[in-house]
Chain A
Amino acid sequence: MLRVQLIILLSIVLSIFMVSINSFAGQPVMDMAPRWEGGYGFQLRYESYGSDILLDGDSKIDNPLDIKNFVDKIWLEGVYTFDRSKRITFKLPFIGQVRTKTISGIGVKQKNSGVSDLVIGLPLKKYFNRGSETSNWGFTPSLRLPTGSYSGDYPLSDGSWDLGLGLSYSTETFKFYSLYDLFYWYNTEGKRNMREGNEIGFDINWGIHAYHNSKENSGMFLMWDIGARHHEKPNAFTLTSASGGTHVHTGPVLMLYRETMMFHVEYKWGVYEKMKGINTSKGNISQISAGITF
């Protein structure tokens, strides 16, 4: 009982601390910069997650067949800024995925790799620059195009056209940064009757501008990220890695910048997961990225 109380007290203290310090975001090249007319940038982002832990709902169960699912993605991302209130972005993933799936009571290993679905976004932002603080509201309609292969036993895409909507707010001072982002993906039915299901999620980023050097134009942000996703269960025809369920991940983020270049690394632990039926845990998520703006 005392242990539970201590955990609750620690959580409250930590929450108050994190709220009080405001903070920052995971993909600075796509969000923070470029905010100038005619600016553009590129980013390479590596993302990895997966697990061999089998869950029934939110309970861990035995996994005698060694069922597992691991996904690696390399995202090529780009942004062009018409003016600070209008941008266009693209995100193209190259995916490598491997899993062991139960087929007729036997664990069957499957793998696939290649280019997956291209995402085009149109971030619209309203900026407020007040004294030594800048903040903005963002509204981002997005379209996911079926550019990935939908063939085989473990396809990279369900071959559908999907529509996304995002609403965000971020605020930044010389010391602190914070971002709040709510999004929804409406996933239509694709090829071979596959339908991955709709998804809703939010991200919170809090951080401090821990170091800044005006002369060298370099600096460092330390942040904390909290992300939650709720994904509908895919239909029975879906063969992709989509699994459905509710996931909450949280962890630290480090961002370094120098002149026009930035480097970012983050690691997030799965702190809550509830699957639709029996499925593998998403596991912990690691990301590393490097970007440049012009």
Chain B
Amino acid sequence: MKVDLYTKIVLTAIGLFLNVTGDSKLSVIKDAAAAVGGYDYKQYQQHSETNTEFLSGGVDASEIKPNEVIIEVHGVVCSFCAQGVKKKLRKFKFVVRSRLNKGIAMNMKNQRITVAIKSGAKVDVQGLFKAVLSGGYEPISALIADKDGNIRSVKADA
């Protein structure tokens, strides 16, 4: 009985630290099981349902929304290690901090960083690439969608 109590206390403390609540507890177990199994069924499902028309360096045009930039990067695998990238990207004046997660969304499974930009703002794409590099990772390419949804692609210099 004591072991059960200690287990509950430890798991509750971990849950509070990670801010895991309600149904998310189930996903913790699923994620852990998927990690041990070496695959992720959710990622597989997402890929199966996604339009695979790539415009630039592997970034999918269907992933982007108006007033967003999607940067394809290499090496971003852990958000604790990637805080610096977010911090550096948020310094740009054209980033809207009220959208996404303070202006930035990271998808480590797909190696994508989405940046929310001000409507009509001129985007310094090379500056974004430099920010990714100084954050410790490799920028590959970017898709930029303006307010009307027009998309252009830019490759990072090797």
A residues within 8 A CB of B12?
A: none
- A222 to B108 CA separation, bound complex (whole angstroms): 18
Main secondary structure, interface of A, reads strand
At the interface, is chain B mostly helix, strand, loop or mixed? Answer: mixed
Contact B84 A39 (CB under 8 A): yes
- Provide the bound-state CA to CA distance between A227 and B61, in Å: 48
B106, A214: Cβ atoms under 8 Å?
yes
- A262 close to B (CB within 8 Å): yes
Known: A34-B84, A83-B134. A172 touches B35 (CB 8 A): no
Interface range, B side: 35 or more
Q: B83 contacts the other chain (Cβ, under 8 Å)? A: yes
How distant is the Cα of A262 from the Cα of B137 in the complex, in angstroms?
A: 21
Let me know if A216 and B18 touch, CB within 8 A: yes
Cβ contact within 8 Å between A220 and B79? no
By a CB distance below 8 angstroms, the chain A residues around B105 are 214
B14 adjacent to chain A (CB < 8 Å): yes
B158 at the interface (CB under 8 A from A): no
Annotate A102-141 by CB proximity to B: 1 below 8 A, 0 otherwise: 0000000000000000000000000101111110000000
Of B19, B77, B105, most buried by chain A (CB within 10 Å of CB) is B77
**Does A195 lie at the interface of the complex (its beta carbon under 8 Å from any beta carbon of B)?**
no
Contact of B107 with A by CB under 8 A: yes
Determine whether A208 belongs to the interface, using a CB cutoff of 8 Å to chain B. yes
Contact of B85 among A36, A208, A211, A222 (CB under 8 A): A36
Q: If A132-B77, A134-B77, A256-B14 touch, does A213 touch B84 (CB 8 Å cutoff)? A: no
Determine the chain B residues whose CB is within 8 A of the CB of A293 once the complex forms: 80, 83
Q: How far is the CB of A135 from chain B (nearest CB, A)?
A: 9
CB-CB contacts of B72-90 with A at 8 A, as 1s and 0s?
Answer: 0111111111011101100
Nearest-CB residue, chain B, relative to A291? B80
Give CA–CA (A196, B81) in the complex, Å.
37
Q: Measured between alpha carbons, how far is A209 from B79 in the docked complex, in Å?
A: 11
Q: Are B18 and A218 within 8 A (Cβ)?
A: yes
Residue pairs across A and B with Cβ atoms less than 8 A apart, 16 shown, are A28-B80, A35-B81, A36-B87, A37-B84, A129-B74, A175-B35, A176-B35, A209-B35, A209-B77, A211-B31, A217-B79, A218-B18, A218-B20, A219-B79, A263-B17, A293-B83
Assuming A174-B108, A218-B18, what are 9 further A-B pairs, CB within 8 angstroms? A36-B87, A127-B75, A129-B75, A134-B81, A210-B31, A213-B19, A214-B79, A214-B106, A219-B78
A interface vs B, CB < 8 Å?
A: 21, 28, 32-37, 39, 83-84, 127, 129-134, 172-177, 208-220, 222, 256-260, 262-263, 293
